[in-house]
Amino acid sequence: MSENKIYLYPVWVRIWHGLNALCILTLIITGINLQFSNPGFELINFNLAINLHNIAGILLSVNYLFFFFGNILSSNNKYYRLKMKGLFKKMTVQADYYTSGMFKDEPHPFPISEKRKFNPMQKVMYVVVMYIFVPGVIITGLALLFPETIIQEVYTVSGIFITAVFHASLGFLISIFLIDHLYVCTIGKHPLKNFKSMINGYHDLSEH
């Protein structure tokens, strides 16, 4: 391999990421189908959508455990450790780069290295998504899969109702993250470079 390339995405991360992407896409499509189902307009048959949503949800949950323990057992967890000191300032610098610096050919303020896989904005986003949104959607999803486990009423509101609204809202936020994630990945010299990296594991440093 060229000296300009670093091996950034180990096999287990790529397998997890690919499976996660498949599950998330299935869950979003079937989720929209369930939330906005209508006799006159059905992308997927309701019953099939329910089954696909359940299967993809269970797969995603198992896959999440793979990610969670993989991160604990490997050195990959270092990329997810947030240092709160100066974090906001670093994020502002990165936001400035995305909104102005990159158009003036300024150097990347936080170039990718073996020690730094994510820029500060990415890091915060990934931590929030992977340690708040995804566990949240998994817990509420599993609860809805076994509705008898949900508290019947919280004051006067149905427990299932609260769980379902949380589940749909988190699912929506993950969908918005996915749109942003896919777009940000196209930023670089070539729009498909980052997608290739997620397949072969190598990141091309000559990009920066």
Partner 1 sequence: MLKFKTRTSAFSFNSLDMRSSFQLLLIILFLAISPKSQAQEKALAPENDLCLKCHTHQTFTFHNNLTKKEDKRMMNPLYILDKNHFATGVHAKFKCTDCHSADYTTYPHNAELKLEPLSTCLDCHGGDAKYAAYQFEKIDEEFQKSVHFQKSGESFTCSKCHNQHYYQAKSRTSSEVGDIVSFSNDMCMSCHSNNTKFQLINDTLKPALATIHEWLPNQELHFKKVRCIECHTQVVDSLSVSHNILPKEKALKNCVECHSKNSMLEASLYKYKNIQSRSEQGKLNSIISNKSYVIGAYQNVWLNNLSILIFVLTMIGICIHLIARIIKK
Task: Write out the residues near partner 1 by the rule CB under 8 A.
Answer: 34-39, 42, 46-47, 50-51, 54, 98-99, 103, 147-148, 153, 155-158, 160-161, 164-165, 168-169, 172, 176, 179-180, 183, 187
Shortest distance (Å) from residue 57 CB to partner 1: 13
Shortest Å, Cβ 52 to partner 1: 12
Q: Give me the least distance between CB of 115 and partner 1, in Å please.
A: 28
CB of 39 to partner 1, least distance (A): 5
Which CB, 12 or 126, lies closer to partner 1? 126
CB of 1 or CB of 155, closer to partner 1: 155
Angle between helices 11-35 and 46-73 (to 10 degrees): 150
Of 200, 133, 205, the closest CA to residue 173 belongs to 133
Nearest approach in angstroms of CB 55 to partner 1 is: 12
Q: Rounded distance, CA 67 to CA 87, Å?
A: 25
Q: Which C-beta is closer to partner 1: that of 158 or that of 200?
A: 158
Exposed e or buried b per residue across 146-184, where buried means at least 16 C-beta atoms within 10 angstroms of its C-beta: eeeebeeeeeeeeeeeebbebbbebbebbbebeeebeee
> How large is the angle between the packed helices 11-35 and 159-184, nearest 10 degrees?
130
Residues with Cβ within 8 Å of residue 67, at least 6 apart in sequence? 16, 20, 130
Whichever of 88 and 98 has its CB closer to partner 1, that residue is 98
| Least spacing, CB of residue 163 vs partner 1, in Å | 8
Q: Residue 109 or residue 147: which is nearer to partner 1 going by CB? A: 147
8 versus 93: smaller Cβ distance to partner 1: 93
Strands (E) located in the chain: 5-7, 153-154, 157-158, 202-204
List the Cα angle 182/71/5 in 5-degree steps.
Answer: 60
